[in-house]
Structures are given as structure tokens and as C-alpha cells.
Amino acid sequence: MNPENIHIREYKKEDYKALLNLWQETDLGNPARGDNHQIIQQSINIGGKLFILEYDNKIIGTSWITFDGRRLHMHHFGIHPKFQNKGFGKTLLKNCLEFAKEKGYQIKLEVHKDNLSAINLYTNAGFNFLGDYDLYIIRNLDEV
């Protein structure tokens, strides 16, 4: 990994198609989640940030930080499988934590219990396990 070829920047509308491809490749996104450009832009407008990690001018990672007025939530944190376990995640996470510190809000995330490399990354960066929470969601409000 040549550090000169790594670039972290903010999301632009033109990134959307490449972003979707990466999210599908990393199993971070699918149409049921409703992640579209308008939702991304709305979350940015209210204090969030979507970081794009590029290597050799190719999008290989993302971290979407949303803000609910109380704390920051890190979503869609992922690195393309070809580039995992090479330090890119650590670089991106450092950038995210600098943003959280700058904003002055707690930051939390969800990680699958079987994703040991991600858990290791997060705990080494200072994240603490909150306990045995079960998560529930309603994706289709027409069913309410």
C-alpha cells in the first residue's frame, strides 16, 4: 500500500453508481435499505458525512456517518474485499474518529458478531461493546 495513492474525501453525487457497486460487493447495501442519493444528501445536510476512500483513483472504501442530534452513527463502513486487511480500514476509521472528535458527539456503530476483523479494528480504536442488544427494524412502512 503506497500512502501517496490513498485519498479520503467527501461524497459527491457522481460517486453514487460506484458507491452502490462497492456496497453490493461488500454486502453493505441493497435496494431494501433505501439508500439513495437523496437520503445520503439529506443526512449530510443535517450534520452527517459520507467519506470516500480512494486508492489509485478508484473507490475502495466508504464510511457513512449520520447524525441524529444526539450522537453520530457510523454506517456502511467497508473496504473492497481485494483491499481488506491491508491497513485501509484503519486509515479510514482514523479519519472518521477525527470527524467525531471535531463534531464533539459520541459515535456508535453496529457490526455483525461474526465479523471478527472489524470487531478487532473497532475495539483497538477504542469502541466498547454495549451489551447483548437485539436490533429490530421496519423497512416497509406500508406494512404498519
CATH at 78: 3.40.630.30
Q: What angle do CA 40, 46, 51 make, to 5 degrees?
A: 45
Q: Is 103 exposed, middle or buried (0-12, 13-18, 19+ CB in 10 A)?
A: middle
* Residues of the chain falling short of pLDDT 70: 1-3, 31
When divided into structural domains, the chain yields a total of 1
- State the residue range of the domain holding 67: 3-143
- The pLDDT, as a whole number, for residue 138 is 85
> Is the C-alpha dihedral spanning 134, 71, 75, 83 positive or negative?
negative
- The pLDDT, as a whole number, for residue 73 is 96
- On whether the pTM is more than 0.85, the answer is yes
- The pLDDT, as a whole number, for residue 131 is 83
